[in-house]
A and B are shown apart, each in its own frame.
Chain A
Amino acid sequence: MDMKPLIETIVKALVDHPEAVAVECREGEAALLCELSVHDDDIGKVIGKHGRTIQAIRTVVAAAAAGASKRVIVQVKDKG
């Protein structure tokens, strides 16, 4: 189950600096954890008002992973 291309496709279309988008996924015991990093100026864009955008991304990713045995956690990486 590779969620990296899907997350990248979505996020790159939303940000001003698509070249700075990076997604790293690693398998945990119960879940696949995907960490998303973007340009500093784009953090607000991928989270959205009240987290609506990141929530929509999570919903789409969850649908794509519905057949898989593990759920997917998508997190935006903090700077620093």
Chain B
Amino acid sequence: MKEVTATAATAEEAVRLALAQLGAPRERVDIVVLDEGKRGWFGLFGGRPAVVKAVLKVDPIEEAVRFLERVMAQMGAEGASIEVVRRGKQATLHVHGGPVGLLIGKHGQTLNALQFLAQLVANRYADEYVSIVVDVEHYRERREKALIELANKLAAQVVKTGKEIRLEPLPAHERKIIHAALARHKRVSTYSVGVDPHRSIVVAPAMETKAPTKEAPL
């Protein structure tokens, strides 16, 4: 952990000095005042300088980035660089260059594994839960488009045949894309069956929303 101790006439001044040495903004640093200092007579004798200790807080997102860099290097993914886009407690690590296919894997398997591990690493250092998305050359956007297209195609098929269709297992965030894509569809409904990692979506004909009939329930 990076830390510095700074000494100045007042605690305030010492904090300023410490931040300058760390090159970090106030909110990224923990400050401990070791000595408030004492003003001497007319600032001349018997005064004692103030001493503060400043510790640079570990940034969970930074840790996730460093982790991903090391792992990619050892996977033999040369030439890959990471661009970080932060949105509050969420960060997307965009990977550019490198062996794209290797990093993505079949249906994004490798990408999802890297994301899961990076997220674990980040949250070892986080007070509040942070969410990490790892993306390679905008694969996630393309995948989202493909999933929405697939959803619409399946919905049309279900409407035509009146039979439900079960998809292959998908991770939670990909199931969400399909659920959302068909949420407003009037003639199909979606639900999921099975347990992760084998949980999959079923697209089914929507329940008829007729007025209640007068038949007696059996």
Contact = CB atoms under 8 A, between A and B. Distances in A.
Contacts of A63: 75, 102-103, 105, 110, 113
22 contacts: A6-B74, A6-B75, A9-B71, A9-B74, A10-B117, A14-B121, A14-B124, A50-B196, A53-B117, A56-B112, A56-B113, A56-B114, A57-B113, A57-B117, A59-B110, A59-B113, A60-B71, A60-B113, A63-B75, A63-B113, A64-B74, A64-B102
Contacts of B114: 56, 60
Interface string A39-76: 00000000010101101110110011010000000000
- Say which size band chain B's interface belongs to: 20 to 34
B120 A6 contact: no
Nearest to B70: A9
Nearest to B124: A14
Contacts of A52: 116, 197
Contacts, number: 56
Given A6-B71, A9-B70, A64-B75, A59 B109 contact: yes
Interface string B119-150: 01100100000000000000000000000000
Interface in A11-54: 13-14, 48, 50, 52-53
A14 B75 contact: no
Interface residues of A, number: 18
Contacts of A14: 117, 120-121, 124
Contacts of B116: 52-53, 56
A1 to B, nearest CB: 10
Given A56-B117, A57-B117, A64-B75, 11 more contacts: A9-B74, A14-B124, A50-B196, A53-B116, A55-B197, A56-B113, A60-B110, A60-B117, A63-B103, A64-B76, A64-B102
A50 B196 CA distance: 9
Contacts of B67: 13
B169 to A, nearest CB: 13
A80 interface: no
A33 to B, nearest CB: 19
B120 A59 contact: no
Nearest to B116: A56
Contacts of B197: 52, 55
Contacts of B121: 13-14
Contacts of A60: 71, 75, 110, 113-114, 117
B102 A66 contact: yes
A55 B124 CA distance: 19
Nearest to B104: A63
Interface string B158-200: 0000000000000000000000000000000000000011000
